[in-house]
Amino acid sequence: MKEKKYCKNCGKEIINYCKVYCSQKCYFDYIHKNRHSYDNLYRRYVDMKGRCYRKSNCNYKHYGARGIKVCNEWLGKDGYENFKKWALENGYRKELSLDKIDNNGNYSPNNCRWTTKRIQNINKRPGTPNTSGFVGVRIHSSKTCYYGSVKIDNKDYYTGMSEDIIITAIMRNNYIIDHHLDNELNNLSQYADKYDMEIRYEPQPKIIGVIQYDLNMNFMEEFSSCYEASKKYNCCVSNIRKCCKGKSKTARGFIWKYKKGVI
């Protein structure tokens, strides 16, 4: 015998076991009574508590594990209402983030504010070096070199690549300095005697065209891009690109080479 099922709103027994509410009216009544569950602000509230108290939360190690808690005023039966009142009175907007003024302090009215992601990134704790040993420097997927990056407004920007990890870190530091950014610099003073601290990332020349040759390497025609060449010869553009990169000898019976230069 199937276990009895009851309406999520009124508690009345449900005959159709596929339903959660006994009627459409009960469904809309429940949504209206619990509409805060669908609010952006309520999600911020739930996420805040999750970081502090849920060990399964991916950010628990940065908050709850460090002893950071939510103040009593924002917990309990009226916790959300108190948090909502504070948020609306202190400049809450959907595009802003909840930020703690003192990173080691608890979530409370006196230690929280609404800020942009950029301000929040500046205020965050100093980054811990990753497996490379340098902040913002990572090993490339090819495992043969390292690349650097900085985060600006929640977007990553490439700062340079090198087989030498120190040179990669130097290029990242100079990128931050040249662009007047607030990202954390790596301390490289111990390498000043061995390395040129003025090394900077220089973008590679951009490809501005493709040259077509016959099998005897006689010039035939120049195209503005691989795509333009593929349209004329009705072939796959990737085949021409492979030929230009040296991964194949020919495409459509011709030899193709990139024309390089700076735009």
Strands (E), 5-74: 5-6, 13-14
- Residue 143 shares a structural domain with residue 118: no
pLDDT score recorded for residue 235? 86
- Residue 26 shares a structural domain with residue 53: no
User: Which residue, of 65, 92, 123, is where some domain finishes?
Assistant: 123
- Residue 57 shares a structural domain with residue 119: yes
- Residue 21 shares a structural domain with residue 58: no
- Integer Cα distance of 23 and 194 in angstroms: 76
Q: Does residue 241 lie in a domain region? A: yes
- Residue 151 shares a structural domain with residue 175: yes
- Domain housing 145: 137-191
Q: Does residue 202 lie in a domain region? A: no
Q: Does residue 197 lie in a domain region? A: no
Q: Does residue 225 lie in a domain region? A: yes
DSSP letter, residue 99: E
- Residues 147/168, Cβ–Cβ less than 8 Å: yes
Contacts of residue 260, defined as CB under 8 A and 6 or more positions apart, other chains included, come to 205, 207, 208
Q: Does residue 196 lie in a domain region? A: no
DSSP string, 128-168: PP-TTSSTTEEE-TTSS-EEEEEEETTEEEEEEEESSHHHH
List the pLDDT tens digit at each of the 263 positions of the chain: 556 677 766 767 766 655 666 676 776 676 666 655 447 888 888 899 999 999 998 889 889 999 999 999 999 888 888 998 999 999 888 888 888 888 889 999 999 998 876 666 555 555 555 567 888 888 887 788 888 988 876 678 889 888 899 999 999 999 988 888 878 888 888 888 889 888 887 765 555 689 999 999 999 999 988 888 888 888 888 899 889 888 899 998 999 998 864 33
User: Which one-letter amino acid corresponds to residue 10?
Assistant: C
Domain count, the chain: 4
- Residues 174/200, Cβ–Cβ less than 8 Å: yes
Q: What is the CATH number of the domain that holds 219?
A: 1.10.10.10
Q: Does residue 211 lie in a domain region? A: yes
pLDDT score recorded for residue 184? 83
- Residues 2/17, Cβ–Cβ less than 8 Å: yes
Neighbours of 173 (CB within 10 A): 24
- Residue 56 shares a structural domain with residue 114: yes
User: Which one-letter amino acid corresponds to residue 153?
Assistant: D
**pTM for the structure as a whole:** 0.45
Q: Does residue 199 lie in a domain region? A: no
Q: Does residue 83 lie in a domain region? A: yes
- Integer Cα distance of 221 and 56 in angstroms: 61
Rounded (10°) CA dihedral 147, 151, 154, 155: -50
User: Which residue, of 123, 158, 177, is where some domain finishes?
Assistant: 123
